[in-house]
């Protein structure tokens, strides 16, 4: 193995922070570069999530992101032999596609003579993904407030919460595509709903930044997207209310565009998780749950033998 790119899952659209707030989670895909191939050739082995559908390089988001990033970064991109160890569930609102975008861009960056820092690559990642709230935390780690106008990216990474606050994610065995979830949203919202969300998301960011965790359940409430997306999966319309009522729950939201549901919990972790999974079960849907931390490191590139591997990359790129 030449190098491993370790990329965390992410939970975005957090409650009131539609397209704005997201966090990296301690659940990871490993993208292992096994060897370099002639330009344009790819061999992909996928183990775990997506192992029967992601092995064709055509349409594979990791490869598309790698090639686009190589073009943007102005490098001759060799082909790749990759092994993807995927633990992030697909199409469940946990940032699996964003992890592929981050992974592909970082693979291309590793081919540079002088790789750029991660924050210099963020705008490119956001341009590939189309919105910032998954890729920015997935790349940088932490809870991040992001703003993107289609060209320029502004973001602030917030401080870490106390260790006893964990993220419970219930993942049902149904899928919601991001495009379907986008189509479920109305074209216009009322001024009162817009004000409702502005007040909540401002409070959420301010509370998080200053460690006033008791505000979270209130600050995560939303009127812009969740009620429309909750209709797209079984249990969606009941689950937020039921989980919110469990003592120890510090706020609950649809993760990404669903169907996973995330909650902050301080104590009573099992009860919070079981309230969510029981709701899915009552609707006849199997689910499992994760108890995760906010990942603070974001994506990491690990070289097995740095000097040797840099030489190998140079060797293939120069065609010797």
Partner 1 sequence: MSKAADEPKAFGGQTVDSVTCDHNVAKVAILGVPDVPGIAARLFSRLAERDVKVGMIIQSIMRGGVNDIAFLVRRDILGKAIEACREVAKEIGSQGVTFDAEIGRVTVTGPGVSERPEVPYQVFSTLAQEGINIDMISSTNESITCVVESSDVERAVEALRRCFLS
Q: How far is the CB of 6 from partner 1 (least distance, A)?
A: 9
- Assess contact for 81 and 34: CB atoms under 8 A: yes
Per CB under 8 A, does 14 bind partner 1?
no
Cβ count near 174 (within 10 Å)? 19
Contacts of 64 (CB under 8 A, 6+ apart): 104, 128
Per CB under 8 A, does 233 bind partner 1?
no
Select 48 or 115, whichever has its Cβ closest to partner 1: 48
Select from 64, 83, 112, 242 the one that contacts partner 1 (CB under 8 A). Answer: 83
Select 35 or 199, whichever has its Cβ closest to partner 1: 35
Per CB under 8 A, does 37 bind partner 1?
no
Show contacts with partner 1 in window 53-82 (CB under 8 A): none
Q: Select the span of 42-50, 201-209, 229-237, 303-311 touching partner 1 (CB under 8 A).
A: 42-50
Cβ count near 164 (within 10 Å)? 9
CA 190, 126, 140: angle at the middle one, nearest 5?
105
Q: How far is the CB of 260 from partner 1 (least distance, A)?
A: 12
Q: 79-86 and 153-157: which strand pairing?
A: unpaired
- Which residue from 285, 284, 251 is spatially nearest to 266, judged by alpha carbons? 251
- Assess contact for 148 and 135: CB atoms under 8 A: no
How many residues touch partner 1 under the rule CB under 8 A: the total is 29
Select from 37, 48, 217, 303 the one that contacts partner 1 (CB under 8 A). Answer: 48
For residues 251 to 290, the per-residue mask of contacts with partner 1, x marking binding by CB under 8 A and - elsewhere, is ------------------xx--xx--xx--x----xxxxx
Select 189 or 285, whichever has its Cβ closest to partner 1: 285
Per CB under 8 A, does 26 bind partner 1?
yes
- Assess contact for 141 and 99: CB atoms under 8 A: no
Cα(219)–Cα(205) distance, integer angstroms = 9
Select 73 or 167, whichever has its Cβ closest to partner 1: 167
Select 7 or 21, whichever has its Cβ closest to partner 1: 7
Task: Give residue for tokens 């992890």.
Answer: 99
Beta strands in the chain (DSSP E): 3-12, 21-37, 42-48, 79-86, 143-148, 153-157, 166-172, 249-254, 261-265, 287-292, 300-303
- Encoding tokens for residue 47? 């183990």
* Torsional class of 83: left (φ above 0), alpha (ψ -120 to 50), beta (otherwise): beta
Q: Select the span of 11-19, 26-34, 95-103, 106-114 touching partner 1 (CB under 8 A).
A: 26-34
Q: How far is the CB of 87 from partner 1 (least distance, A)?
A: 4
Show contacts with partner 1 in window 111-150 (CB under 8 A): none
Query: On the CB side of 78, how many CA atoms lie within 13 Å of its CA?
Result: 22
Q: How far is the CB of 269 from partner 1 (least distance, A)?
A: 6
Select 63 or 265, whichever has its Cβ closest to partner 1: 265
Query: On the CB side of 44, how many CA atoms lie within 13 Å of its CA?
Result: 26
Per CB under 8 A, does 85 bind partner 1?
yes
Q: How far is the CB of 294 from partner 1 (least distance, A)?
A: 13
Per CB under 8 A, does 242 bind partner 1?
no
Cα(156)–Cα(154) distance, integer angstroms = 7
Q: How far is the CB of 268 from partner 1 (least distance, A)?
A: 8
List of residues contacting partner 1 (CB under 8 A): 9, 26-30, 32, 45, 47-48, 83, 85, 87, 171, 269-270, 273-274, 277-278, 281, 286-293
């Amino acid at each position: 193995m030449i190098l491993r790119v370790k990329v965390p899952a992410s939970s975005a659209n957090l409650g009131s922070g539609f397209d704005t707030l997201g966090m990296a989670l301690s659940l990871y895909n490993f993208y292992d570069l096994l060897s370099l191939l002639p330009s344009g050739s790819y061999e992909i082995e996928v183990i775990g999530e997506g192992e029967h559908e992601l092995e064709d390089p055509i349409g594979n988001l990791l490869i598309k992101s790698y090639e686009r990033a190589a073009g943007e970064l102005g490098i001759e991109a060799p082909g790749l032999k990759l092994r993807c160890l995927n633990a992030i569930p697909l199409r469940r609102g946990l940032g699996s596609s964003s992890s592929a975008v981050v992974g592909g861009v970082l693979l291309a960056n590793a081919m540079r003579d002088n790789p750029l820092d991660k924050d210099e690559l963020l705008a490119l990642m956001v341009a590939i993904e189309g919105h910032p709230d998954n890729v920015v935390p997935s790349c940088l780690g932490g809870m991040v407030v992001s703003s993107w106008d289609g060209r320029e990216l502004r973001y602030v990474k917030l401080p870490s919460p106390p260790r006893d606050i964990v993220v419970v994610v219930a993942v049902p065995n149904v899928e919601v595509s991001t495009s379907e979830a986008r189509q479920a949203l109305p074209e216009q919202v009322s001024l009162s709903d817009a004000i409702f969300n502005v007040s909540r998301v401002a409070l959420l960011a301010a509370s998080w930044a200053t460690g006033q965790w008791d505000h979270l359940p209130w600050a995560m409430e939303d009127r812009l997207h969740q009620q429309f997306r909750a209709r797209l999966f079984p249990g969606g319309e009941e689950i937020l209310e039921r989980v919110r009522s469990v003592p120890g729950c510090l706020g609950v939201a649809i993760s990404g565009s669903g169907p996973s549901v995330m909650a902050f919990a301080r104590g009573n972790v099992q009860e919070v998780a079981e309230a969510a999974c029981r709701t899915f079960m009552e609707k006849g849907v199997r689910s499992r749950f994760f108890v995760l931390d906010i990942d603070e490191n974001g994506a990491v590139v690990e070289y097995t033998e740095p000097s040797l591997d840099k030489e190998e990359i140079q060797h293939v790129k120069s065609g010797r």
